[in-house]
Chain A
Amino acid sequence: MDKTKSSYQEDKALVLAAQKDARAFGGLYDKYFERIYLFIYKRVQDEAVAGDVCQDAMLKAMHNIKKYEDRGFPFSAWLYRIASNEVNLYFRAQKKMVTVEVEDKHVKSVMLEIKIGSEESESDQDKLMKVLSNLKPEHVEIIELRFFMQYSFKEIAEFYEITEANAKMRLYRILDKIKKTWETNS
């Protein structure tokens, strides 16, 4: 049995136990805490905030574990989605602007993909950041996953519980939107 298959089986057993008794959620908590924490940290870039958001996400998962249905996707995808929703809720609730830093190599890769501006130009990079900042959190999420967190299309598909083709379509639709906004602003 390969690693993915055994992890899938292990998760299945842990989920079943947690569905019977919420206190058994501890197994899943221990297994996924660090991964979920890092996922949140990369998006909020603050240790304490990531800790709080992670706790909220885990609480939601524990509360809703009975509603979880195995649709053939990894259990982690369900957890990541809850965590991502919590991150979006966190940003929505902030009255002050929260600054999120993006490495320039990731910004360049977005510019290369959409074919806009000159990727070496700092003003063009800043302009793209402005366009991204004005997007809805749900829309910018897929950009973060693909370009800032280096997710493969397979991982994005698992995250949204869709096919890889649909994941590609969803991403390119958002990239198209970014390109149009960029051109309108030029």
Chain B
Amino acid sequence: MRKYKVNREQPVKLPSKEAMAKYKDFSRLTHEYDNVVKRPKKPLYKDKKMFIFIIIVALLAVLIARSMAEEEAEEETPSGTEATE
């Protein structure tokens, strides 16, 4: 919110070059830019949701692999009737 006021005394003084130079800092700007652009550096295991998601995916992968291995084992062992023939 701003309010205008008439200045009837002296004209508004502009800052000097030295005063402006205090605020000129390109390295600060690039640092801020990096913060905006770069991916967060938080590791995956520190992100609770992501950590649970990874564990669930890993568990599912193990379960699927085990059931597939069991199916293969059943197919390989001959049944009792086939053996007597």
Residues of A that sit less than 8 Å from B by CB: 22-23, 25-26, 29-30, 33-34, 37-38, 41-42, 45, 47-48, 50-51, 54-55, 58-59, 62-63, 91-92, 94-104, 107, 122, 125-126, 129, 132-133, 137
Contacts and interface: CB of A to CB of B under 8 A. Distances in A.
B23 A103 contact: no
Contact of A29 (B4, B8, B26): B26
B37 interface: yes
A51 B2 CA distance: 18
A44 to B, nearest CB: 9
Contact of A100 (B5, B8, B11): B5
A30 B24 CA distance: 8
Interface in B15-65: 15, 17, 19-20, 22-26, 28-30, 32-33, 36-37
Contacts, number: 101
Contact of A101 (B7, B19, B32): B7
B3 A100 contact: yes
Contacts of A41: 14-15
Nearest to B35: A59
B11 A99 contact: no
A104 B10 CA distance: 10
Contact of B33 (A22, A100, A137): A22
B7 to A, nearest CB: 4
6 contacts: A47-B19, A51-B22, A98-B2, A104-B6, A126-B6, A133-B2
Contact of A33 (B8, B19, B24): B24
A55 B7 contact: no
A62 B29 contact: yes
Contacts of A103: 6-7, 11-12
Given A55-B28, A59-B36, A100 B4 contact: yes
B4 A59 contact: no
B68 interface: no
A100 B6 CA distance: 9
A61 B5 CA distance: 31
B1 interface: yes
A91 B36 CA distance: 23
B1 A95 contact: yes
A101 to B, nearest CB: 4
